[in-house]
Structure 1
C-alpha cells in the first residue's frame, strides 16, 4: 500500500465514529418464525440511542443477541469492540442491563437483593460493595425503601431497583429495555435524570421504549425497527429534519411574501404563525434571498421539525399504494 493510500485509510478511520456496539446481517429464527431479519445497527460511543418499533418488531430479541443472551441464527455482533458471544467475559463486566423487567428474591429487601448482585460484580472489590449499593439506591430514588421487602414494592419501584442493579459498578455501556414501564411521572423524571447523568459521564446508553416523548426528550440517536428489520437509524435531529422540509417565516407582510415566493416557483402558503415554505426543491437561503429582493420584512425564519410520533408512524405504517409514505426499503440511513 502506498503512503497516500495509507494516509487516506487512516483519515477515514479517524473520521468514522467509534462504536460501542455493532451488528451486521443479524438474523434470528425461532422454528418457522423470523424474529429479526438482517439487522445492521451502529451504536456510537457516548450516544443515547433510542430503539423504537411496534410490538413484535424485534427490539428485545436484538438486545438479547447484543448481550449474548441469545445466539443469532446468522450475522455478527460486536460489543465494546469484542465479538459476541465469544468474548462475553471480556465485555459484559463493563455493561449494565435491564432486559424484560427485573427479577429479584421476593422475601429479601431491596438492599439485600442488590448486595447479592454486587457481591458477584467482577469490577467491585469486597470493600466497595456496601458503598456501591448505597449509591445505586440513592441514584434511583429508593434509599427510603431500601429495607422493605421486594414483594411489597410497587411495579415502578421494582423497575427502579432493576435499574439500580444495572448501575452497581462503573459502566461503559448501559442497556435499558422499557425502563419507565410502570413508573409514575416522578419516577419517569428520575429515570430521565439518570440517563442524562450517564450521558454526561460519557456512558453509552441504549434505550428500548414505546414512549416516544421520552425518547425525544432523552436520546441523541434513534434506531427504528419494523417487522424485524431496521427501517431508519441515525441522529435524532437529522431524522426529524429529514422528514420536515418546511421553513416557517415570520413576517408582517404575509400575502406579499407568498406572492413573491410563488412568482419564483417556490411553494408557499399563509399560516396563523407566518408563512410556510416548502423546501423540497429549495434551500432556506434561496427563500430568504427571494424575500429580501421583494422587500419583504423577515422577522424570523426557522426550519420546522416533525415530531417523533409522526416520523415513527410514517416509517412503521407506510402503505405501498400511498405515494406520500416512505417505503420501508427506502427509509433514511442517517448513521455513517
Structure 2
C-alpha cells in the first residue's frame, strides 16, 4: 500500500466498495503569477473522518482550503464538496459546511453575542425563531457564555478563536473546516476544542483540521494528509500510515552483546537500544529475528514493533527539502490576500 492510495484503500468497506467522500479534489492547481501555490493535489476527505492537514510554511494548506470552500477559483483541477461540483454546486453544499479559516472576522464594537446573532441571521438552515437558542448553545459550547456581553475588540486572541468556532457551529454541519483552531488558546482552551472535535466526530460530522501542532493532530484525527511544496506527499488513515512506517523491532534482552553478535552473523542489521537491541527489518522479518536469537541461546524478554510517532513521520516525509527554505513566496501571497 502506497501513502498516496492508503486513504482510499483503508477507508473502503469490507465489501471493497469505494468509500463515500465528504470532499475531494483532482489535479487541483493554483498559480499566482510565476508562483505555484498548489500543484496537482488529489485530496480525499472520507465521510465521517477527522482529517488533519499538515504542512510547513508555504506547503499550500490554506490555499487548498480556500479552493475547497469556493473562496478561491483554481487555476486547474476539480473540487467536489458534499457530492456537489464547485463552483456550480456551491449554493447547495456550503450551507452544510461550517468553517473557521485564517482567523475570525467580526465587528469590533459589537459584543460577542451581538456578532454571533448577526452571523446566525444569515444562516439559510436556521429559522428565525431558533436563532437566539442556537447562539446561546454555540456560546456555551465553546466556553464563551460568561464573556458574551463583552465587546469583540476587548477579546483576547483565544477568545476570538472561540467566537469564530461558535459561528461555525451555529447549526448541525455535515462538514466542519477548521484552520488552526487552537491558535492563541491556553491548554484548557485547547482541551475544549479537542472535545468539540471529538463530539462532532461522534455525531457523524466530517472534520477537516489544518494545524501545525502535530500532537493535536495525533490526538484528535483519524486521517492525515501531509502537504509539502504544494503537493500531497502522503495521505490516509493515521494509524495505517504510522504502522506502514514501522520497519524496526525492539528486542528486550539482558545479553546485548550476544544478541548483536548472533544477528550480525545472520546478516541482520541491529544496534544497541535502551534495554536490548533495535533490529531493522530490512530483508528479514520478526519471526526470523526471534528464531536467530533463540537458536543462539539469547534470552528474549520482550519483542515489539517500534512505533513511529507523527512527528517522526512528518520529518521523514519533508526532510528532503533544503533547510534554508523557511518562508516561501506562497506564504507572502497568502498573507497579502487576507
Fold shared by both chains (TM-score > 0.5): yes
> Is 2:205 the partner of 1:199?
no
1:181 Cα deviation after fit: 1.1
Using the alignment, how far apart are the partners of 1:297 and 1:202 within structure 2? 49
Checking the alignment, whether the CA contact within 8 Å between 1:241 and 1:304 is kept in structure 2 is no
| Counterpart position of 2:224 | 222
Deviation above 4 Å: which 4+ runs of structure 1?
11-14
Where do 1:208-287 residues align within 5 Å?
A: 208-287=210-289
Secondary structure at the counterpart of residue 314 of structure 2: helix
Relative to 1, partners in 2 of residues 1:269 and 1:138: Cα closer, same or farther, differing over 3 Å? Answer: same
Relative to 1, partners in 2 of residues 1:160 and 1:319: Cα closer, same or farther, differing over 3 Å? Answer: closer
| Counterpart position of 1:56 | 58
Using the alignment, how far apart are the partners of 2:317 and 2:53 within structure 1? 13
Secondary structure at the counterpart of residue 132 of structure 1: helix
Residue among 127, 144, 147 paired with 1:145: 147
Where do 1:1-336 residues align within 5 Å?
A: 14-318=16-320
| Counterpart position of 1:324 | none
Checking the alignment, whether the CA contact within 8 Å between 1:52 and 1:209 is kept in structure 2 is yes
Checking the alignment, whether the CA contact within 8 Å between 1:67 and 1:85 is kept in structure 2 is no
Alignment length (residue pairs): 311
Checking the alignment, whether the CA contact within 8 Å between 2:49 and 2:222 is kept in structure 1 is yes
Relative to 1, partners in 2 of residues 1:319 and 1:109: Cα closer, same or farther, differing over 3 Å? Answer: closer
TM-score relative to the length of structure 1: 0.86
Using the alignment, how far apart are the partners of 2:301 and 2:250 within structure 1? 11
Using the alignment, how far apart are the partners of 1:64 and 1:22 within structure 2? 13
Checking the alignment, whether the CA contact within 8 Å between 2:180 and 2:211 is kept in structure 1 is yes
Using the alignment, how far apart are the partners of 2:141 and 2:285 within structure 1? 46
Using the alignment, how far apart are the partners of 1:30 and 1:90 within structure 2? 29
Using the alignment, how far apart are the partners of 2:134 and 2:287 within structure 1? 54
Using the alignment, how far apart are the partners of 2:138 and 2:283 within structure 1? 52
Query: Per-residue CA shift, 1:252-297, capped at 9, x if unaligned?
Result: 3433333333332221222123221101222223323433444443
Gaps of 5+ in 1: 1-10, 321-336
Using the alignment, how far apart are the partners of 1:33 and 1:13 within structure 2? 43
Using the alignment, how far apart are the partners of 1:311 and 1:109 within structure 2? 43
Relative to 1, partners in 2 of residues 1:286 and 1:128: Cα closer, same or farther, differing over 3 Å? Answer: farther
1:319 Cα deviation after fit: 5.1
Using the alignment, how far apart are the partners of 2:61 and 2:28 within structure 1? 12
Relative to 1, partners in 2 of residues 1:18 and 1:286: Cα closer, same or farther, differing over 3 Å? Answer: farther
Checking the alignment, whether the CA contact within 8 Å between 2:255 and 2:276 is kept in structure 1 is no
